Amino acid sequence: MSLYIYKKYNKLYSAWSEEKSSYFEVWGKGANLPTYSGYDSRPVWTSEGYENRGTYGVWSSAYSTVSNSDTRSEYTMSSYSVDSYDDTWYEWWTTRDTWYRTRTFSKGTYVGEVTAEEGFYPDNGATGDYWYIKDRLAFPQLGIRVDNVWLTSELGWCKIDSVWREIDEIHINVNGIWKKSE
């Protein structure tokens, strides 16, 4: 693999969306009514996502532990309603309501450059807390002439007299003037 220079940027987040919801229902039947593990109080919204409230336990209706990522925050409430009952069986509908907010991110302000093996960061996208753009090879693909023999460079190393040596700097002769390669 070749080493590349990547331009590094902060991630710029959009505002969180308005709260949205979705739900689904499932029919059930049994000798006992269902119970749900979770919190007895609805989570609250903070600037960083939902936050659990109440007491954790087993309830006839419960709010799940919140799930927060950098682009989605959500929680679910599980409950039931009795459909019918006879002497031995309950029939009910379980409802799972999910509330969520989302946001997106894009390339933000420039931070600097990093050197990494090709593929370690995306060519143009985010990973972790930053956005990266693949810019150029860290070491140019060069042929080096030593004692009238062309040698090759490999990841910042070159072979001289059968010994691999690390390249500290590369200079180029431009119109008779030696300049450090950037």
Could you tell me the CA-to-CA distances from 137 to 3, 92, 156 in Å, in that order?
Answer: 6, 64, 10
Cβ contacts of residue 125 below 8 Å, gap of 6+?
A: 131, 132
Chain segment 170-180, per-residue pLDDT in tens? 776 667 777 77
Chain segment 144-165, per-residue pLDDT in tens? 677 777 766 555 677 788 888 8
Residue 128 has pLDDT above 80, yes or no: yes
pTM of the model: 0.64
CB count in 10 Å sphere of residue 43: 21
Question: Over the chain, what is the mean pLDDT?
Answer: 87
Cβ burial of 112 (10 Å; 0-12, 13-18, 19+) is exposed
CA 165 to chain centre: 38
Chain segment 39-75, per-residue pLDDT in tens? 999 999 998 899 999 999 999 999 999 999 999 999 9
d(CA 144, CA 171): 11
Chain segment 83-94, per-residue pLDDT in tens? 887 778 889 999
Q: Band of the pLDDT at 140, cuts 50, 70, 90?
A: low
Q: Is 164 or 80 the better-scoring residue by pLDDT?
A: 80
d(CA 40, CA 77): 10
Q: Please name the amino acid found at residue 118.
A: E
Q: What is the pLDDT of residue 104?
A: 95
